[in-house]
């Protein structure tokens, strides 16, 4: 494959036999983060980013396809189901600090625009309704308050104090109702779509090529150890082969399918299960202006961890709105703009028992999903009124969020287990890697990509150690 200059400074890929150094599959936050890192650490390497849609960040990284929470363990009960065990919440907090350090380094050298273009300070809160959840939240607060990353957390059961933190939560609530909340001022709202585009510009500024509207339909390794990517132009139908020494698959729900095409033994027996989500949204200023936080509650019994209800302030391209949700939806698509056959294309004889076993172990989850799919608009709105008693249905409208593919892994004891989180999978020789799973992936992308560098680019460790210290100062 050969580069030729076109008008301006961009490079265009032609179908010749030259070999690229890096191919990034997927135009979301993960590929963009890795592309920006490589531009800083290995600026002499040739890179191409391939995205099947005509725009970057239109899937899970799109700002209205996620809650925009900078996940740092401050408010999410699902990261701390046992209020006495802070290990996971503290680890996510540390990983998010790595993200902040990376972004601040790029802001400092002018690679990223002003932080308000993608990050806005937004307090993170957790609210508890009823004595059972209040006891949980009180214990959670006592566990976290002694840790440095959580030392600024506040706790209150006083209605007036909570009303000062989040007026909509208390407005219209009956007197004497038991309620408690924690707040941390250092929370963030993040537009991952804007951040994805800015990070991609760091890579293209160093000569990386972006192919939009192109889909990878085949992925095989040739006799010389080079990866051959069969790429189709979705607008014209034209096909080409791109050859690369290293491939990263950050294609969301399609990642497993592409790693299967690559015959990667590390994913043998792996499966995915799709989860969709719907939110209620309001843009009405009289409502939006009264709420300036991200407020999380506890998930319903039997609900998956990522279904914790939350009332979020969102700021996207200067526009303010509120979101409430999520409400589970189901589709066999593994991407928002995917195909109904996506899930079936990932099925193999090796992963069918794994998927079946995970389903049998999660009958409560199945019942929850069925209940969500059958829920009326009135029932859904009642959940919002649990957080915002005075909510007016006329102010809110539904939006469909991104599609997630939760990872199902083989297990020697249980045959298969459904996991909630992200997993970086790399080949033994470090020539291909992919990211599977969902939350809190976007918030921890720099730490995940730093781990990838250590696994797949070990030969350059000494060379770029000074640059790593700059990119992750204090990490």
- CA angle, 197 as apex, 319 and 317 as ends, to 5°? 5
Q: Which residue has the tokens 């469909």?
A: 400
β-pair partners for 214: 233
- pLDDT number for residue 306: 63
**Residue among 267, 284, 295 nearest 405 (CA):** 267
Who contacts 214 (Cβ-Cβ below 8 Å, separation ≥6)? Answer: 50, 51, 52, 231, 232, 233, 234
Structure tokens at 10: 């961009």
pLDDT the model gives residue 474: 44
Q: Which residues of 216-238 are buried (b: 16+ CB within 10 A; e: fewer)?
A: beebebeeeeebbbebbeeeeee
Could you tell me whether strands 271-282 and 404-411 are parallel, antiparallel, or unpaired per DSSP bridges?
antiparallel
CA distances from 307 to 61, 114, 150, 231, 324 (A): 18, 32, 23, 36, 11
174: CB partners within 8 A, 6+ apart: none
Contact between residue 281 and residue 321 where contact means Cβ atoms under 8 Å apart? yes
Alpha carbons 84 and 296: distance in angstroms, whole number: 19
Max Cα distance, the chain (Å): 74
**How many residues does the structure list for the chain?**
475
Q: What is the CA radius of gyration of the chain?
A: 23
DSSP code of 120? Answer: E
Q: How far apart are CA 403 and CA 14, in angstroms?
A: 33
Dihedral sign (CA 170, 171, 176, 178): negative
Whole-number pLDDT of residue 460: 76
Q: Is the peptide bond before 326 cis (omega within 30 degrees of 0)?
A: yes
User: For position 1, what pLDDT does the model report?
Assistant: 39
Does residue 227 contact residue 95 with C-beta atoms inside 8 Å? no
Contact by Cβ (8 Å): 11, 209: yes
Q: What is the pLDDT of residue 302?
A: 59
- Tens digit of pLDDT per residue, the chain (475 long)? 333 333 333 444 445 568 999 999 999 999 999 999 999 999 999 999 999 999 999 999 999 998 899 999 999 999 999 999 999 999 999 999 999 999 999 998 899 988 888 999 999 999 999 999 999 999 999 999 999 999 999 999 999 999 999 999 999 999 999 999 999 999 999 999 999 999 999 999 999 999 999 999 999 999 889 999 999 999 999 999 999 999 999 999 999 999 999 999 999 999 999 988 999 999 999 999 999 999 999 987 656 666 799 999 999 998 999 999 999 899 999 999 999 999 999 999 999 999 999 999 988 778 888 888 888 889 999 999 999 999 999 999 999 998 989 999 999 999 999 998 899 999 999 999 999 987 778 999 999 999 999 999 988 776 666 777 767 764 4
Rounded Cα distance, 167 and 396, in Å: 18
Pairing, β 188-190 against β 20-25: unpaired
SS (H, E, C) 413-444: CCEEEECCCEEEEECCCCCEEEEEECCCHHHH
- Fold exhibited by the domain 2-471: FAD/NAD(P)-binding domain (3.50.50)
Using an 8 Å Cβ cutoff, are 245 and 260 in contact? no
Integer Cα distance of 250 and 29 in angstroms: 8
Rounded distance between C-alpha atoms, residue 279 and residue 264, angstroms: 36
Q: Minimal CA–CA distance to 216: which of 230, 237, 202, 199?
A: 230
Lookup result for tokens 């009642």? 382
Question: Which residues on adjacent β-strands are paired with residue 398?
Answer: 280
Task: Return the DSSP state at 412.
Answer: T
Please name which of 425, 130, 438, 181 lies closest in space to residue 301, comparing C-alpha atoms: 130
């Amino acid at each position: 494959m050969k580069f030729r200059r076109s008008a301006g400074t961009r490079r265009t890929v032609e179908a010749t036999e030259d070999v690229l150094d890096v191919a990034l599959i997927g135009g979301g936050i993960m590929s963009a983060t890795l592309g920006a890192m490589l531009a800083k650490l290995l600026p002499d390497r040739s890179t191409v980013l391939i995205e099947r849609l005509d725009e970057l960040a239109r899937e899970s990284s799109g700002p209205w396809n996620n809650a925009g929470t900078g996940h740092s363990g401050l408010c999410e009960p699902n990261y701390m189901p046992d209020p006495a065990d802070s290990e996971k919440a503290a680890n996510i907090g540390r990983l998010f600090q790595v993200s902040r350090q990376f972004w601040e380094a790029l802001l400092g050298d002018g690679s990223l625009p002003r932080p308000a273009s993608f990050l806005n300070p937004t307090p993170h809160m957790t609210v508890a309704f009823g004595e059972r959840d209040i006891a949980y939240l009180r214990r959670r607060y006592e566990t976290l308050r002694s840790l440095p990353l959580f030392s600024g957390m506040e706790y209150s059961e006083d209605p007036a104090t909570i009303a000062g933190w989040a007026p909509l939560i208390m407005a219209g609530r009956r007197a004497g109702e038991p309620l408690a909340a924690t707040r941390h001022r250092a929370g963030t709202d993040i537009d991952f779509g804007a951040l994805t585009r800015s990070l991609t510009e760091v890579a293209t500024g160093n000569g990386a090529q972006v192919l939009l509207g192109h889909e990878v339909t085949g992925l095989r390794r040739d006799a010389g150890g080079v990866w051959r990517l069969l790429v189709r132009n979705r607008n014209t139908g034209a096909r080409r082969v791109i050859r690369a020494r290293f491939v990263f698959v950050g294609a969301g729900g399609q990642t497993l399918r592409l790693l299967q095409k690559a015959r990667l033994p590390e994913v043998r027996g792996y499966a995915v299960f799709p989860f969709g989500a719907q939110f209620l949204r309001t843009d009405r200023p009289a409502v939006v202006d009264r709420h300036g936080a991200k407020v999380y509650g506890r998930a319903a019994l039997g609900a998956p961890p990522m279904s914790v209800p939350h009332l979020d302030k969102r700021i996207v391209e200067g526009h303010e709105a509120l979101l409430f949700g999520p409400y589970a939806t189901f589709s066999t698509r593994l991407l928002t703009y995917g195909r109904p056959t996506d899930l079936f294309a990932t099925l193999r004889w090796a992963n069918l028992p794994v998927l079946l076993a995970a389903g049998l172990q999660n009958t409560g989850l199945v019942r929850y999903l069925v209940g969500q799919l059958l829920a009326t608009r009135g029932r859904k709105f009642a959940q919002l009124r649990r957080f915002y008693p005075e909510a007016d249905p006329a102010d809110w409208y539904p939006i469909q969020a991104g599609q997630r593919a939760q990872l199902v892994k083989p297990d020697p004891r249980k045959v298969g287990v459904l996991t909630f989180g992200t997993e970086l999978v790399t080949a033994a020789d470090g020539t291909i890697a992919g990211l599977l799973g969902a939350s809190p992936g976007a918030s921890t992308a720099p730490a995940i990509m730093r781990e990838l560098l250590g696994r797949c680019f070990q030969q350059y460790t000494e060379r770029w150690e000074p640059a790593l210290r700059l990119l992750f100062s204090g990490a």
